[in-house]
């Protein structure tokens, strides 16, 4: 079997048993202990595709039921892949796919106004109930902040909002722009806790409807408003700008455009906090399956290409922080909640088994990418002027310790 021959040179940690379409067992024993997984491949062509295009074929075969995991589950299989990823990426077919992606990545990430809206709708305008089944109660759909790793998800997401706010030097009355405002949780938090005036922009119709309703129901619509608008079309100037989990949808061809607009929107003494997934490697491409089925137009940048764009625009990087395993823990919580609510997702949200398998693969695969591969999260503090923030980072620590959060917000 071609796939078994390819993987025999890859599996060094753990054990994999492949049952091919003819019912034959192929046992691959790694030299080091690790997950012990058994998969069944239901058609001969699926086995060939897995050998030739593994990064796309595995997700598709699992979604379609052409690969089933009989010993363990899909997380165990992807965990095994993650532990052996260095050897897998050295195989000729995977190296070729990476090379191809680097050549065509600018086409894949071309996100002008209009196309960006369609890409956002593909993921964020799914049925609204879906997100209630795996996110925290505030619907924070980005990396949480784990101080110990043992916190419940609600607390870690609350700590994330506090951590970001501590870097923004907020004072009552300041005008804040939230680029990619999601379901409104960050904007509402900043307004309620710090008395700032918030404008949020999003391209998701579903998110806009929910965030606007939350502002109205919370009695803060006079100082927290949300627009269904591309950030490139937003006028005015703001004292502070925050963007959490949106930059991954910009595309590398648009980084200079993004930061040029930020500079235009930011007051002379203003400060921005940018929170984004990134990679700890040189620029590359987006996983083929993830781009096709989950995040069309999406890309996680290398810091080198982000910094190059910031330098061209002429903004100051006044602080930078790297969060490493925080997103792996966040995704673990999401995956466990999704699995616990799988039947309700089918019944209440109306999604079928194929959709659920697609999302199981998405959540498990992303967790593994942060746990073993090249993914991380960065927070960049940006300013027009080099003296826009204090000389040392002590103010961040003081602000984070001094933030008084209504306990009811964590408990609601």
Question: In sequence order, what DSSP letters do the residues of 181-200 get, joined into one string?
Answer: -TTSHHHHHHHHHH--EEEE
Q: For the chain, what's the residue count?
A: 412
Query: Which is it for strands 175-179 and 316-323: parallel, antiparallel or unpaired?
Result: unpaired
Catalytic residue among 99, 143, 356, 366: 366
pLDDT of amino acid 285: 82
Q: Name the 3-class secondary structure at 41.
A: strand
pLDDT of amino acid 62: 97
| Distance from C-alpha of 263 to C-alpha of 257, rounded to nearest angstrom | 10
- CATH number for the domain running over 2-90: 3.30.1050
Strand partners for 38 = 17, 71
Of 93, 74, 88, 2, which Cα lies nearest the Cα of 44?
2
The 8-class DSSP code of residue 121 comes to: H
pLDDT of amino acid 3: 86
User: Measured at the alpha carbon of residue 264, what is the angle toward residues 388 and 391, in degrees to the nearest 5?
Assistant: 10
Residue 205 burial class via C-beta count within 10 angstroms: exposed 0-12, middle 13-18, buried 19 and up: middle
59's CB contacts (< 8 A; 6+ apart) are: 289, 290, 293, 358, 361, 365
Largest interatomic CA distance in the chain: 70
74-83 and 353-372 helices cross at what angle (nearest 10)?
A: 30
- Record the pTM: 0.91
| Distance from C-alpha of 32 to C-alpha of 14, rounded to nearest angstrom | 6
Q: How many CB atoms lie within 10 A of CB 57?
A: 22
* Cβ atoms of residues 261 and 310 within 8 Å: no
**What are the sequence ranges of the domains in the chain?**
2-90, 115-411
Per-residue confidence of the chain (412 residues) as pLDDT tens digits?
788 888 888 899 999 999 999 999 999 998 899 899 999 999 999 999 998 888 899 999 999 999 999 988 999 999 999 999 877 776 666 665 656 566 555 666 666 777 777 878 788 888 889 999 999 999 999 999 999 999 999 999 999 999 999 999 999 999 999 999 999 999 999 999 999 999 999 999 999 999 999 999 999 999 999 999 999 999 999 999 999 999 999 999 999 999 999 999 999 999 999 999 999 999 988 888 999 999 988 899 999 999 999 999 999 999 999 999 999 999 999 999 999 999 999 998 889 999 999 999 999 999 999 999 999 999 999 999 999 999 999 999 888 887 544 434 443 4
CATH 3.40.190.80 fits 115-411, yes or no: no
C-alpha radius of gyration, the chain, whole number: 22
Q: Name the 3-class secondary structure at 405.
A: coil
* Cβ atoms of residues 244 and 184 within 8 Å: no
| CA 398 remoteness from chain centre | 29
356 is catalytic: no
Of 152, 154, 164, which Cα lies nearest the Cα of 193?
164
| Distance from C-alpha of 338 to C-alpha of 348, rounded to nearest angstrom | 13
């Amino acid at each position: 079997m071609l796939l078994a021959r390819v993987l025999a040179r890859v599996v060094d940690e753990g054990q994999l048993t492949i049952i091919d379409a003819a019912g034959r067992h192929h046992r691959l024993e790694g030299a080091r202990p690790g997950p012990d997984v058994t998969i069944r491949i239901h058609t001969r062509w699926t086995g060939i595709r897995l050998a030739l295009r593994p990064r796309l074929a595995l997700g598709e075969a699992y979604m379609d039921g052409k690969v089933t995991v009989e010993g363990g589950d899909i997380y165990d299989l992807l965990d095994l892949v993650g532990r052996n990823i260095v050897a897998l990426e050295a195989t000729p077919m995977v190296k070729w796919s990476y090379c191809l992606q680097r050549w065509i990545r600018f086409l894949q990430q071309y996100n002008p106004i209009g196309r960006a809206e369609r890409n956002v709708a593909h993921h964020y305008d799914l049925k609204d109930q879906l997100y209630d089944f795996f996110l925290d109660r505030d619907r924070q759909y980005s990396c949480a902040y784990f101080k110990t790793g043992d916190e419940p998800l609600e607390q870690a997401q609350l700590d994330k909002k506090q951590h970001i706010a501590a870097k923004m030097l907020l004072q009552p009355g300041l005008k804040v722009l939230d680029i990619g405002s999601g379901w409104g949780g960050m904007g509402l938090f900043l307004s309620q806790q710090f008395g700032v005036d918030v404008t949020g922009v999003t391209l998701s119709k579903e998110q806009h409807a929910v965030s606007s309703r939350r502002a109205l129901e919370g009695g803060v619509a006079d100082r927290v408003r949300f627009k269904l608008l591309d950030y490139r079309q937003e006028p005015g100037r703001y004292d502070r700008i925050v963007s959490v989990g949106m930059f991954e949808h910009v595309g590398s061809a648009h980084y200079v455009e993004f930061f040029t607009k930020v500079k235009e929107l930011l007051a002379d003494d203003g400060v921005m906090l940018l929170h984004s997934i990134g990679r700890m490697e040189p620029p590359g491409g987006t996983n083929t399956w993830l781009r096709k089925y989950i995040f069309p137009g999406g890309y996680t940048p290398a810091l080198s290409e982000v910094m190059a764009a910031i330098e061209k625009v002429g903004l100051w990087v006044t602080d930078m922080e790297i969060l490493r395993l925080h997103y792996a823990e966040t995704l673990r919580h999401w995956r466990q909640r999704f699995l616990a609510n799988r039947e309700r997702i089918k019944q209440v949200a109306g999604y079928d088994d194929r959709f659920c398998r697609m999302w199981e693969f998405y959540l498990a695969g992303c967790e593994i990418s942060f746990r073993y591969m090249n993914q991380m999260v960065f927070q960049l503090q940006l300013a027009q002027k080099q003296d826009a923030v204090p000389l040392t980072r002590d103010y961040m620590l003081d602000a984070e310790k001094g933030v008084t959060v209504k306990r009811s917000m964590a408990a609601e």
